[in-house]
Amino acid sequence: MNENDPQISQDITNLITVGNAFSEHAKMSMRNVNVFYADKQAIHDVSLDIGKNEVVAMIGPSGCGKSTFLRCMNRMNDTIDSCRIEGDFRLEEDDIYHPNQDVVALRARVGIVFQKPNPFPKSIYDNVAYGPKVHGLASSKTDLDEIVETSLVRAGLWNEVKDRLTAAGTGLSGGQQQRLCIARTIAVGPEVILMDEPCSALDPIATAKIEELIAELSQNFTIAIVTHSMQQAARVSQRTAYFHMGKLIEVNDTKKVFTNPEHELTEAYITGRFG
Amino acid sequence: MTNLSSQPAANAQTPSTMDLVNKNLAKRYRAEKRFKAYGIAAILFGLACLVILFTDIVSKGHSAFLQTYVYLEVTYDADTLEIDDINNPQQIAIADYSALVKASLRQQFTDAKSRKERRNLYGLVSNGASFTLRESLEDNPALLNQTVGVWLLADDDVDTYYKSRGDDKADAFVGRLVPKQVAWIETWITNQQIKKRFNTTFFTSGDSREPEQAGILGAMAGSLFTLLVTIILSFPIGVAAAVYLEEYAPKNKLTDFIEVNINNLAAVPSIIFGLLGLAIFIGYFEMHRSLPLVGGLVLSLMTLPTIIISSRAAIKSVPPSIRDAALGLGASKMQVILHHVLPLSMPGMLTGAIIGFAQALGETAPLLMIGMVAFIVDIPGGISDPSTVLPVQIFLWSDSPERAFIERTSAAIMVLLAFLITMNTFAILLRNRLERRW
Amino acid sequence: MNTSMLLVIAIIMMAMAFFLGRKRAITVAGGNHGIRNLNSLPGYYGTLSALWCGIPSLLILALWVIFDDYIIIQIIIQELPTSSQALSESELGLLLNTVANIALNNSSTLVAEPFIIEAADRLNGLKSISQMALSVVILCVAMGLALFSWLRVNTQLKARVKVENVFKIVLLLCASIAVFTTAGIVFSVIFESIKFFQSVPFFDFVFGLQWSPQMAIRADQIGGSGAFGAVPLFAGTMLISVIAMIIAVPAGLMAAIYLSEYASPKVRTIVKPALEVLAGVPTVVYGFFAALTVAPYLRDTGSMFGLSVSSESALAAGLVMGVMIIPFISSLSDDVINAVPQSLRDGSLGLGATHSETIKQVIIPAALPGIVGGILLAVSRAIGETMIVVMAAGLAANLTANPLESVTTVTVQIVTLLVGDQEFNSPKTLSAFALGLMLFLITLALNSIALMVVKKYREQYE
């Protein structure tokens, strides 16, 4: 297949996405997205839907734009001055990038979990209570206690930390820290959770726990997850999107992507020829 | 949001979440704006202070760069001067030239009758005027018994009056001048016998009790010698100490102790270094007071921690790969340091050192302790001549009651700031060059 | 030969030793082709010879210069008439001064007792003997050592290792100067302070409420008894420092927050150096500004509102000091805030917190130890600041908390007590050293705590 090596043989400028990028019950829908860092284009004309209560995995080699795309979905890229975004992002009917769309309110609906666990240097309780507090979601201390407890329970951390809620969040193990960050995110009650390689800094056992958690969370939340590990994508997601050099190459049911990819670039990636 | 009913857990929260979030949004954004405004206010406050400080100094000091001179017809009368042999330099040197000025003044203003009035009249011209006359006679002995018009240095009260006068007599600052003196000055102004010239005295002479004759050359020379001693002592020692701590020092208690010491010394108040200088250099080693040598020693000890800290940072910024490369070729540790580390970190070290020297140049308190506050007219010629330094000169003048000293103090501050800004700009340029390199 | 001449000679001898050693090394190795047989490069042999020849000679020179005066004076004292030897220390000092003056002037025009003239002659004689002896000793030692090192050059000698060891020791000595300086500070203030506490009890000094160091000249003078209660000075210092911190902490901190969190890079590159200019302005300039512009302005404004503001009010000094400290706090806080990892900001923003909520509730708490450390350093600087208060604050030791009144500070008193001529052993002069000791201890404690806190903080995020 050497002479047909997709990296060499194909001109990727004219690629169009193959497979099924759209969803009937779209929670979020992105159309014709282009993202630039200063003069460099990081995302080329990507369209994708995330269905309600669906887990969509985004995979692809390093620098393919999957994380950039994810961060655009709750406007985290607003903090980067040189970043310019074109295209249409919708959360249900609301235009995410509409001038009247409030970014704070948006992030309350679309939460994000980062690559490296980043608990605040506060107590476990305060970490989880932070979001509800800034948004004014709890009307009383009991309310807040309840939110903290349910969030920690749902993040599967409650039993491990219930006796030391006042201990520093930074004192937990890496896996626990990441689950704390997930608890912190769901405490705000978002509709969508974005996860940016949430397990890349964790050991296999902690990773397994987070993966279990994702499966449970998908009952209640819509989840988009960027991952480096194809196995993880295969385990947790219903649909998988393959990015390559800023383009969305293929979106299909996860099973299909990993057993019978439509596009040869996808095939090249999942068979480990580059990545 | 009815379609969310399929999410049992989210159902309980979601609708109220967005309502609650939206309810608070306006308040939160007002807080955000307020917070940002505090930040802008803080910065504007800082910048305003800077602007006020500089405009205040400049507005007070700019006039000192001009000096008032008075035009008088002076007759080099041999009898008044008691010169009978024009070829005798001794006679020319000791002659009483102020008598010429007095005669000329009496001639112009015949209304000064009483002794007191005459004394007031003579007070209008600086006693420095006689030096001018002596010099011109020394240069040109043929002037003897001639009458010539000369521009002579006016007294500081006249200077202040004339500078503050503007177009309207009423604005002028009279100060100690009596009405008669004011009338005489006004006569000069009508006759255009008075004018402002560039104040060369300010840059070419030492301190004086008379503001119009006071200059900063002595203080500048003192500052120069003091700084020279500081540079010669503190830079090599500071660099050597930094090299030891970065390249040789083992990780042990002694090294920790030295490090803690250096960091603490950097924050010790400068006046404490003055006490050290007083007790050790002057009290114990019995060095003389007011010497640039002692001042330089004290300032070296004070600047040393700054230089060590910045030099260490510069040495740290040399990539370890360069050391490894040289060591791999078989160079010894000393060769690595002398051939690679020091040349590469030199710009960084110089940057830090220059900033330290600028601080030393502006330092006053420790020098007060070691007696550099003496009133010294002579311009020092070396590190062992008693002298003062520019900041101390500023301190001394600011204490003087004469109004004319205020503008000179401000002018001296402008000169000092000019030096400091030059040094710091140089340091910044050096730093920028360094940044481009890596 | 005088000392500087000898110094030059010693240096020339070192240079000669260098060339001789190098040449000898090449010869021993058997010419330029034999250099490979040597343990080190010929230059190292030369350097080693120069060090062997130079260091002992220079050491002897230094010790001689330091001690010969003392020894000569002891000899002179021994030879003085017994009546003079019995004089008190200060009188003897005066006498010796006269001797030294006469010896310097070489003149007999001064009327003096014969034994003094004799002592002066003897002084000059001893001095020239000492100088001559020194020259001979230095020349002999330098030449002897040069010869010795020349003889020791052989192919096995590890010249490079030895030179490097000397190099390392010199560096270590330079590094320890900081320790010697600290020791020097401690000793210079502690000895005089002990003398002071012998005449004024320690507790009277630390807890006394009256400060009037002027000893009585007339018997009826009030407060002229020499009261050394330092409380008013510490109170005054604290008052001015508190005013300064009230200005500097909010302004410096908010400026740092704005610059590191909100300002565009363009604004930052202009504003940051502009604020740093404030830090580079010498304190004497601030003092001038405080005394001649701010203080009169406050007095006039105060009288407009019917307040009587002292023309040396604590407020004027404190305000100006606060302005001086703004850039200090802002640059320290800036460093600290920038050390907070970006991931924490992302975490908070990702939850939907606004920028100011993120700063107030996540970044500042995270950076708090560092900020507190910076503030402590600033307080220590305010306490030790001298010129602003010397020029703008008063001399009268009032015990008051009213910022419109005039107070005095520790540093002001040190300067007033020590500037100009003073008798070295009066309690008045010694009290300045006791104040210096207190000042040193307080600032040292503040700095140590601050540096420790900041260090811990930095390690946390490294």
- Rounded to whole angstroms, the Cα distance separating B67 from B404 reads 10
DSSP SS3 for A102: coil
Query: Is A134 buried (19+), middle (13-18) or exposed (0-12) by CB count in 10 A?
Result: buried
pLDDT at C30: 78
- Kindly give the residue spans of alpha helices, DSSP state H, lying in C80-158: 82-85, 89-105, 114-152
Q: What is the average pLDDT value for chain C, to the nearest integer?
A: 86
- Chain A residues whose CB is inside 8 A of the C344 CB are 118, 120-121
Structure token digits, residue B46: 């800082």
Report the b/e string of C181-217 with b at 16+ CB within 10 A.
Answer: bbebbeebbbebbebbbeebeeeebeebebbbbeeee
Interface test with A, best of B2, B11, B13 (most A CBs within 10 A): B13
- pLDDT tens digits, C330-377: 999 998 999 899 999 999 999 999 999 999 999 999 999 999 999 999
**Inter-CA distances, B224 with B29, B373, B418, C375, Å:** 56, 16, 14, 35
pLDDT at C225: 56
Residue pair C135/C144 in contact by the 8 Å Cβ criterion: no
pLDDT at C423: 64
Interface test with A, best of B17, B19, B22, B30 (most A CBs within 10 A): B17
Closest approach of B365 to chain C, Cα-based (Å): 6
- Which of B57, B237, B373 comes nearest C419 by C-beta? B373
Is B226 contained in some domain? yes
Nearest residue in chain B measured CA to CA from A188: B17
- Which of A121, A122, A130 comes nearest C351 by C-beta? A130
- Chain B residues whose CB is inside 8 A of the C175 CB are 240-241, 244-245, 249, 258, 308
pLDDT at A184: 93
Residue A43 in this model has a pLDDT that exceeds 50: yes
Nearest residue in chain A measured CA to CA from C343: A118
- Chain B residues whose CB is inside 8 A of the A191 CB are 4, 10, 14
- Rounded to whole angstroms, the Cα distance separating C2 from C5 reads 5
Is B96 contained in some domain? yes
- Which of C167, C291, C356 comes nearest B398 by C-beta? C291
User: Domain C225-461's class?
Assistant: mainly alpha
- Rounded to whole angstroms, the Cα distance separating B433 from B427 reads 10
* Domain extent at residue B276: 217-434
- Rounded to whole angstroms, the Cα distance separating A254 from A261 reads 10
- Rounded to whole angstroms, the Cα distance separating B120 from B183 reads 12
Contacting residues for B285 by C-beta, under 8 A, at least 6 apart: none
pLDDT at C411: 94
Handedness of CA A154, A160, A163, A164 (dihedral sign): negative
- Which of C343, C362, C366 comes nearest A114 by C-beta? C343
Q: Which residues of chain B have pLDDT under 70?
A: 1-16, 434-438
pLDDT at C160: 85
Predicted confidence band at C462 (pLDDT cuts at 50, 70, 90)? Answer: low
Please tell me which residue, C117 or B224, carries the higher pLDDT value: B224
Contacting residues for B39 by C-beta, under 8 A, at least 6 apart: C254, C255, C257, C258, C261, C262
- Rounded to whole angstroms, the Cα distance separating C286 from B136 reads 42
**What residue segments make up the domains of chain C, in order of their start?**
3-157, 159-199, 225-461
Is B34 contained in some domain? no
Is B73 contained in some domain? yes
- Rounded percentage of chain A residues whose pLDDT exceeds 90: 49
Is B97 contained in some domain? yes
pLDDT at C219: 47
Which CATH number characterizes residue B271's domain? 1.10.3720.10
Closest approach of B8 to chain A, Cα-based (Å): 7
With CB atoms and an 8 Å threshold, state whether B18 touches A220.
no
Please tell me which residue, C135 or C378, carries the higher pLDDT value: C378
Residue pair A108/A190 in contact by the 8 Å Cβ criterion: yes
Q: What is the average pLDDT value for chain A, to the nearest integer?
A: 88
Predicted confidence band at A28 (pLDDT cuts at 50, 70, 90)? Answer: very high
Predicted confidence band at C109 (pLDDT cuts at 50, 70, 90)? Answer: low
Residue C444 in this model has a pLDDT that exceeds 90: yes
Predicted confidence band at A80 (pLDDT cuts at 50, 70, 90)? Answer: confident
- Give the N- to C-terminal CA distance of chain A in Å, as an integer: 18
Is B31 contained in some domain? no
Rounded (10°) angle between helices C314-339 and C231-257: 40
Report the b/e string of B312-332 with b at 16+ CB within 10 A.
Answer: bbbbeebeeeebeebeeeebb
- Chain A residues whose CB is inside 8 A of the C347 CB are 114, 118-120, 181, 184
**What is the Cα A3 distance to its own chain's centre?**
36
Could you tell me where the beta strands, DSSP code E, fall in chain A? 18-19, 26-37, 40-51, 55-59, 83-91, 94-95, 110-113, 192-196, 222-226, 239-244, 247-253
Residue A54 in this model has a pLDDT that exceeds 70: yes
- Chain A residues whose CB is inside 8 A of the B32 CB are none
pLDDT at C238: 95
Chains sharing 3 or more CB pairs under 8 A with chain C: A, B
Split into its structural domains, chain B has a count of: 2
Is B43 contained in some domain? no
Residue pair A35/A69 in contact by the 8 Å Cβ criterion: yes
At CB < 8 Å, which residues of chain B contact A? 3-4, 6-10, 13-14, 16-18, 20-25, 28
With CB atoms and an 8 Å threshold, state whether B7 touches A136.
no
- Kindly give the residue spans of alpha helices, DSSP state H, lying in B62-168: 78-81, 89-94, 98-108, 115-122, 129-139, 156-165
pLDDT at A12: 59
- Rounded to whole angstroms, the Cα distance separating C253 from C363 reads 13
pLDDT at B33: 94
Structure-token match 């009268």, residue found: C396
- pLDDT tens digits, C387-437: 999 999 888 888 888 889 899 999 999 998 888 666 667 788 888 999 999
* Residue C406 β-bridge partners: C313
**Inter-CA distances, C130 with A158, B98, B353, C107, C135, Å:** 87, 53, 41, 22, 9
| B186, B277: one domain | no
- Chain B residues whose CB is inside 8 A of the C170 CB are 240
Predicted confidence band at A11 (pLDDT cuts at 50, 70, 90)? Answer: low
Sheet-wide strand order for A40-51: A40-51, A26-37, A83-91, A94-95
* Residue B353 β-bridge partners: none
CA nearest neighbour of B313 among B262, B278, B384: B262
Residue A166: how many other CB atoms lie within 10 Å: 10
Is B21 contained in some domain? no
pLDDT at B12: 44
pLDDT at C127: 84
**What integer is the mean pLDDT of A107-118?**
91
pLDDT at C397: 84
Secondary structure element (H or E) that encloses residue B42, with its range: helix B8-61
ipTM comes to: 0.90
| Beta-strand pair A55-59/A222-226 | parallel
* Residue C331 β-bridge partners: none
Interface test with A, best of C260, C261, C351 (most A CBs within 10 A): C351
Residue pair A38/A47 in contact by the 8 Å Cβ criterion: no
pLDDT at C111: 64
pLDDT at C149: 83
**What integer is the mean pLDDT of C434-452?**
93
pLDDT at B430: 83
pLDDT at B244: 94
Residue pair A95/A88 in contact by the 8 Å Cβ criterion: yes
Nearest residue in chain B measured CA to CA from C352: B21
pLDDT at B10: 42
- Rounded to whole angstroms, the Cα distance separating B328 from B336 reads 10
Predicted confidence band at C216 (pLDDT cuts at 50, 70, 90)? Answer: very low
| B257, B150: one domain | no
Structure-token match 């604590």, residue found: C314
pLDDT at B2: 38
Please compute, for residue B382, the number of CA atoms within 13 A of its CA located in the half-sphere on the CB side: 1
Point out the least confidently predicted range of B145-159, C117-131, C235-249, C276-290: C117-131
Residue pair C371/C333 in contact by the 8 Å Cβ criterion: yes
With CB atoms and an 8 Å threshold, state whether A120 touches C348.
yes
- Which of C177, C255, C418 comes nearest B369 by C-beta? C418
CA nearest neighbour of A19 among A246, A267, A252: A252
Point out the least confidently predicted range of A202-216, B418-432, C17-31: C17-31
Structure-token match 């009890």, residue found: C201
- pLDDT tens digits, B368-386: 999 888 888 888 988 888 9
- Which of C264, C347, C354 comes nearest A120 by C-beta? C347
